[in-house]
Amino acid sequence: MGEEKKNRDLIPSMIKNKEKRAEVHANLKNQKKLEKRKRAKARDAAEKQALELGEEPPPRKTPRTIENTREVDETVCKPDDEELFAGNDADEFSSIIKRDIVPKVLITTCRFNSSIGPDFISELLSVIPNAHYYKRGTNDLKKIIEYANARDFTSLIVVHTSRRKLDGLLIIGLPEGPTAHFKISNVVLRKDIKNHGNPTGHEPELVLTNFTTRLGLRIGRLIQTLFPQDPNFRGRRVVTFHNQRDFIFFRHHRYIFEGKENKKEVDSKTKSKDKGEKASQPKVVARLQECGPRFTMKLISLQHGTFDTKGGEYEWVHKPEMDTSRRRFFL
């Protein structure tokens, strides 16, 4: 006991000897681990006892995370904000989201694209329904926008590559904007995903999560306009854009519902058959299979209108001084 108390009082950073410091640090770490395990056992025992007595178990403490301790933001959307809903009904995306117009997407590359660009685009074409590829060549982006507007495209996606790596993505709403510029990273193509599935031609379900601020809602609605608003549930395809700490994670899955039987259930079935009782139905479990591609996006800027580097007016631009706090998020 005396030695344990001594170890508690010792601060590893105050010990000059490296070996002794490492030993004390390891002991402290192990001690904390044992204490944590004791607390968990005591909590589980208290919950079990409460359930046996027919009482409500004591409420569990919510762990402190960066997400639930984020800085207070006035732009976070509220469910009773009538002004916000009125603005959504009159914005550039409302005609597609209300199903008045069917989305039609044009995908192109930057001027000097590497070999990974077409591979990534071919996978995007399989993810986004009613998407078409246009070879960029040396054409200016303004000419491509004019071409897309003349053929009733609702969105334009420009895939940017640099040094044989994908590094940027432009999503332009047509005909009047806005233009979102994303940095793209951690790209994994379908062929590199282990046990990947192959997508069908069915229109996918779209899942957008954690876009809580006004800027986040605007970005979410821009992404929403790329996909038809009437998914075909028979295809069991899901496209997910999950925002976490201002990083948007893209995933593409197929799902299936399976009946799963535990060993205990199998044993009980055999017993019930012997007694002549009705067997219980197997538990239904959802299983996911990733179809790819997989990538992460981070918003760099949101611009009014179509892409214009010289005279464009920006709604929001990311600056280095915005990253001074780990608990400040914008989406």
Render pLDDT for 201-254 as a digit per residue (tens, 0 to 9): 899 999 999 999 999 999 999 999 999 989 998 889 999 999 999 999 999 999
Residue 271 lies in a domain: no
Can you give the pLDDT at residue 54? 83
Can you give the pLDDT at residue 8? 54
Residue 330 lies in a domain: no
Neighbours of 208 (CB within 10 A): 18
For residues 327 and 69, the answer to whether their CB atoms sit within 8 Å is: yes
Beta strands in the chain (DSSP E): 105-109, 131-133, 155-162, 165-173, 179-188, 205-209, 237-244, 247-260, 283-290, 294-303, 314-317
Residue 70 lies in a domain: no
Residue 280 lies in a domain: no
Structure tokens at 112: 């000097």
pTM of the model: 0.79
Same domain, 298 and 163: yes
Q: Within 13 Å and on the Cβ side, how many CA atoms surround 214? A: 12
CATH code for the domain in which residue 218 is found: 3.40.50.10480
Dump pLDDT digits (tens) for 86-130: 888 888 888 999 989 999 999 998 877 777 788 899 999 999 999
Print the domain residue range for 31. 2-53
CA angle 225, 180, 159 (to 5 degrees): 90
Neighbours of 41 (CB within 10 A): 10
Same domain, 171 and 128: yes
Same domain, 22 and 115: no
Residue 69 lies in a domain: no
Can you give the pLDDT at residue 272? 55
Dump pLDDT digits (tens) for 297-312: 999 999 998 888 777 7
Can you give the pLDDT at residue 256? 84
Domain count, the chain: 2
Residue 75 lies in a domain: no
Neighbours of 101 (CB within 10 A): 13
Dihedral (CA of 249, 253, 258, 261) sign: negative
Dump pLDDT digits (tens) for 162-180: 878 888 899 999 988 899 9
Same domain, 134 and 44: no
Residue 329 lies in a domain: no
pLDDT at 280 over 90: no
